[in-house]
Structure 1
Amino acid sequence: MKVVLAEHAGACYGVQRALDMAVAAAGEGEGASTLGPLIHNPQVVAELEARGVRAVEGPDDVERGAVIIRSHGVTPAVRRAVVARDLPLIDATCPHVARAQKAAAELARRCGRVVVVGEEGHPEVEGLVAHAREAGGEVVVVASPADLPAHLEAPVGIVVQTTQTREALDAIVAELEARGIQPEVKNTICFATRQRQEAAAALADKVDAIVVIGGRNSSNTTRLADICAAACPRTHHIESPEEIDPTWFAGCFTVGVTAGASTPEVQISAVVARLEALEG
């Protein structure tokens, strides 16, 4: 059985940057706290905790050490709460997410109404919504055209969760245009996310089975699994090599491997090694 790795897979720049910042903070000796999981990868979060970097619910839960704003970013109110505690602040917000936050605020000021294309309740989306509302905008979160309010008047701005697909954005823009609304669109989808999605789709179309590595609480990894499953029914979403069941690959000549943007290289290598060992 041949194991083929997707051309683009695994930790993106924003995730690796956040990890490097957290590890550096751990080395300071006083420990550090992240506001929520640093990234959506349970294994990495557990490793960070072992180094003295623990995930907490909010600023009030931090007793000492630095406070790390995770890669998904936070709302302006949470940032102010950290500053008010007079604690050392390490901002590990992904630069692409920070750009989306700025775009949400700008659209709110210009258009008054902002549509956020994304997953309701996701921490990144909560940050986008809060930035738009602080700038005076009326905000609605939609995942599909069916979520759009029946009554929505121009002008309308659109900003996108960085891990969304271009197809989701295009469908919502098309629905608004069908209503006679020409929205101002800020396409804030991360290029690395798009690369991983396209590479996963291309690979899934060529292999007998495919393994998608990443946290089950990771929206971008879950989306990769959905994309792969559309082309390859034998798609398996796992978090660790221990989950692999050899019976999944009965009769397979090729198996693909891809990984979400919150999956470090060491986890990918472990899964590839496990798959390559199955033949023996």
Structure 2
Amino acid sequence: MPMDVVIAEHAGACYGVERALKLAASTARETTGSVHTLGPLIHNPLVVDELTQAGVELAENLEDVASGALIVRTHGVVPQVIEDARGRGLNVVDATCPYVKKVHHAAARLIQEGYQLIVVGEAGHPEVEGILGHAGGEAWVVGEPSDLDQIEVAKRVGVVVQTTQTADRLAAIVAALSTRVQELKVVNTICEATSERQRAAAELAERSGCIIVIGGKNSGNTRRLAEICRARCSNTHHIEDANEIDASWFCNVELCGITAGASTPQSHIQRALDRIEELGA
């Protein structure tokens, strides 16, 4: 009996990523000088390699860029970086995801209103670092409820969320905070595209004998998709490249589900489908 292959209802590149890739492509076409991204444009090593081949180089810091165009990654940066880049005479192309910008505005507003700011997210992640920068650095990053034990929690607390976090994690941290504060203002900045992908992946994993999750190993939202799927289907595999797919994964499998992170282009999903067909699964 042939195996059925089903792609999750919501999978692959979100609006912010598609927008950033289009900006990078148009900047490369229209710029006579060098074009760099400040850090990886998105968390997908294959896409970064493809951009390099298209003439968009990767710069880890401003000192690596002498002239030309500088593309700000989808995760955003602290405001000072953009100011410094423009001060160096660079043409700054801001590819920050519009939904990440909403977090920046919400964080700054909560600080202005006098709340102690807590950012629910992954410490050290570029998006979180950008959020902290727009909050003036006056914030705490919390990834789990237990992290609150390291903080002197104020009476008035405001909360924003890294766009790719799960609703369950936010709910757990809010529940822990609610018993410790007098006033709690939560701005739920989880991106709907992220929530849609997580719900669709969970639904598909529940009925699949194998799940393939496509996207960068350095992508937080893709790793979370893999965690969600693995909790429901032990035969879950997180891959970056279609060549990683192994025929042994499909032994006695009637339904193989495929999902992909928000930083995964549709072309990478198609490569996985082609690979499965090539294996005769």
TM-score (norm 1): 0.96
Contact 2:145 2:172 in 1 (8 A): yes
1:64 alignment partner, one of 60, 67, 75: 67
**Counterpart residue number, 1:24:** 26
- For residue 202 of structure 1, report the CA deviation from its aligned partner: 0.3
Pair 1:144-2:144 in alignment: yes
**Counterpart residue number, 2:47:** 44
Task: Name the CA distance, whole Å, in 2 between partners of 1:165 and 1:5.
Answer: 21
Task: Name the CA distance, whole Å, in 1 between partners of 2:101 and 2:256.
Answer: 36
Greater than 3 Å deviation, 4+ residue runs: none
**Counterpart residue number, 1:232:** 233
Task: Name the CA distance, whole Å, in 2 between partners of 1:278 and 1:2.
Answer: 14
Contact 2:157 2:185 in 1 (8 A): yes
- For residue 153 of structure 1, report the CA deviation from its aligned partner: 1.5
Residue pairs, 1:8-157, within 5 angstroms: 8-28=10-30, 29-133=32-136, 138-148=138-148, 149-157=150-158
Task: Name the CA distance, whole Å, in 1 between partners of 2:37 and 2:76.
Answer: 11
Task: Name the CA distance, whole Å, in 2 between partners of 1:182 and 1:112.
Answer: 9
Which ranges of structure 1 fall in alignment gaps of 5 or more residues?
A: none
Which amino acid letter does the alignment assign opposite residue 6 of structure 2?
V
Query: Alpha-carbon deviations, 1:113-149, whole Å to 9, x = none?
Result: 1000000000000011111126xxx311010110113
Which amino acid letter does the alignment assign opposite residue 185 of structure 1?
V
Task: Name the CA distance, whole Å, in 1 between partners of 2:91 and 2:233.
Answer: 47
Comparing 28-37 with 214-223, greater Cα deviation is found at: 28-37
Call closer, same or farther: CA 1:100–1:263 in 2, change over 3 Å.
same
Contact 1:176 1:182 in 2 (8 A): no
Per the alignment, in what secondary structure is the counterpart of residue 183 of structure 1? strand
Contact 1:14 1:94 in 2 (8 A): yes
- For residue 180 of structure 1, report the CA deviation from its aligned partner: 4.0
**Counterpart residue number, 1:198:** 199
Contact 1:3 1:276 in 2 (8 A): no
- For residue 197 of structure 1, report the CA deviation from its aligned partner: 0.4
Per the alignment, in what secondary structure is the counterpart of residue 37 of structure 2? strand
Which amino acid letter does the alignment assign opposite residue 201 of structure 2?
A
